[in-house]
Amino acid sequence: MIGNKQPITTTLVGMNGAVFVAMVLTRVSPVAPTSAQLLKWGANWGPYSLGPEPWRMLASNYVHAGIIHIALNMWCLWSLGFLAERIFDPWTYVLTYTACGLAGSVASLWWHPLSVGVGASGAIFGLAGALIAALYLGHLPIPRQAIQGTLKSLLTFAGYNLFFGAVARGIDNSAHIGGLLAGLALGAALSKHLMAPPEIRDNWRRGVFIAAAVVLFLAFMEVKHVNGNLVPTGLPESGDGGIPNAHKAFTAALLHRTR
């Protein structure tokens, strides 16, 4: 797939940007949105995501907590994405990005289920992990010196951002780690077949992502079992931005985490 150009990165950046613009147009703060506003737009939160609204695990990857948050994430996606388009076919890119974003959400629900989480960086870390594994293990028609330089840059990106996430408040490092580990695993599984004939590559990719879907489902069910006591029963109607009355006071006190 070396040299094959597809507009996947542009599309993903556009989708994230469109969600942010829609949020702002509905009077969500472009600088410091509240947890209640983020929840209304699909943020990841244990009592919802582990209960009646598991779709939040995916939706939260396209929601951002302010202009600085989305700008930093989209800059990283833009930088990594065009490299991914040269290494992976379009389906591999999209499925890797999506699976790693979900893995980050599951890790976040396991580690701190009562924090409201938003952002694309779980998926972005996963993309970095998949590229690291693919470049290291794959037999790609790229000069060794270029591979080594790219690997160094990717490892520096992952290491620096994991360190920053560990020392800074309000950053969901569990989602970063979950996405990165998922990306490394997927990249390793896919690496040997990246340059295979299309039929062989496509069949292998299908098997890898079916296995990934099973693992993600089992991980979600385990987290749901461990943190099942957080799931509210009989959600009452809300009169305040979609937040159930039983949780208004609690939600107002939440600190949301960005990823």
CA distances for 86 relative to 6, 8, 186, angstroms: 9, 11, 17
Report the distance separating Cα 59 and Cα 42, nearest Å: 6
From the number of C-beta atoms within 10 Å of its C-beta (0-12, 13-18, 19+), residue 90 rates as middle
Catalytic residue among 108, 121, 174, 191: 121
Report the distance separating Cα 122 and Cα 128, nearest Å: 10
Report the distance separating Cα 25 and Cα 21, nearest Å: 6
Residue carrying structure tokens 């989480």 = 117
Catalytic residue among 64, 69, 176, 256: 176
176 a catalytic residue:
yes
Structure tokens at 114: 């009562």
Question: Residue 6: what residue type?
Answer: Q
Structure tokens at 158: 């992952």
Asked if residue 154 lies in contact with residue 187, where contact means CB atoms within 8 angstroms, the answer is no
Query: Which residues are known to be catalytic?
Result: 121, 176
